[in-house]
Amino acid sequence: MLFVPLPFVVTLLLVIILAQLLRREETPKTSRLFVSLIVLYAVLSVLIGIRWGYGVLMFLPVQSVLAASWASLAWLSFRQLAKGGPDILLSRDWMHFIPSLVVLSLILLWPSPIDVVLIMIYSGYGLALLKMAFSGSDCLSMARLDESPRAHRALFVTAIFLLLFALVDIVISLDINLNEGHYSALIVSLANLPALVLLGLSSAIADNARVKRPYSEKDLVGEAVLGPEDIEVLKRVDELLGGRGVFCDFDLNLDRLARKCGIPSRKISGAINRIKNQNVSQYVNEFRVAEVCRLLIASDQPITTVMFDAGFQTKSNFNREFRRVTGISPKDWRNQFPNVKYKPQ
Same domain, 116 and 252: no
Band of residue 337 on the pLDDT scale cut at 50, 70, 90: low
Whichever domain contains 153, its CATH number is 1.20.1070
Q: What per-residue confidence (pLDDT) applies to 138?
A: 85
Number of structural domains (the chain) is 2
pLDDT in tens, 256-290: 888 888 888 888 888 888 888 888 998 999 999 99
Q: What per-residue confidence (pLDDT) applies to 212?
A: 57
Same domain, 197 and 239: no
- Check pLDDT > 90 for residue 105: yes
SS3 182: coil
Q: What per-residue confidence (pLDDT) applies to 43?
A: 92
pLDDT in tens, 138-194: 888 888 888 888 899 999 999 999 999 899 889 888 888 888 777 777 777 667 667
pLDDT in tens, 116-134: 999 999 999 999 999 999 9
Same domain, 138 and 276: no
Whichever domain contains 270, its CATH number is 1.10.10.60
- Check pLDDT > 70 for residue 95: yes
Asked whether 137 and 87 are in contact (CB, 8 A), the reply is: no
Asked whether 333 and 293 are in contact (CB, 8 A), the reply is: yes
246: DSSP letter: G
Please give the Cα distance from 39 to 43 (Å, whole number): 6
Q: What per-residue confidence (pLDDT) applies to 338?
A: 57
Q: What per-residue confidence (pLDDT) applies to 117?
A: 94
Tell which residue, 222, 249, 215, has the closest CA to residue 236: 222
Higher pLDDT, 189 or 341: 189
Domain end point (choices 208, 229, 261): 208
pLDDT in tens, 294-320: 888 888 889 999 999 998 888 888 998
Tell me if 341 is assigned to some domain.
no
What residue numbers bound the domain in which 241 lies? 220-336
Band of residue 345 on the pLDDT scale cut at 50, 70, 90: very low
Tell which residue, 293, 280, 295, has the closest CA to residue 241: 280
Q: What per-residue confidence (pLDDT) applies to 65?
A: 94
Average pLDDT, the chain: 82
pLDDT in tens, 201-253: 888 888 887 765 544 444 444 444 444 578 888 888 888 887 777 888 888 88
How large is the angle between the packed helices 254-261 and 265-276, nearest 10 degrees?
A: 100
Tell me if 10 is assigned to some domain.
yes
How large is the angle between the packed helices 60-83 and 148-179, nearest 10 degrees?
A: 160
Q: What per-residue confidence (pLDDT) applies to 215?
A: 47
Same domain, 27 and 116: yes
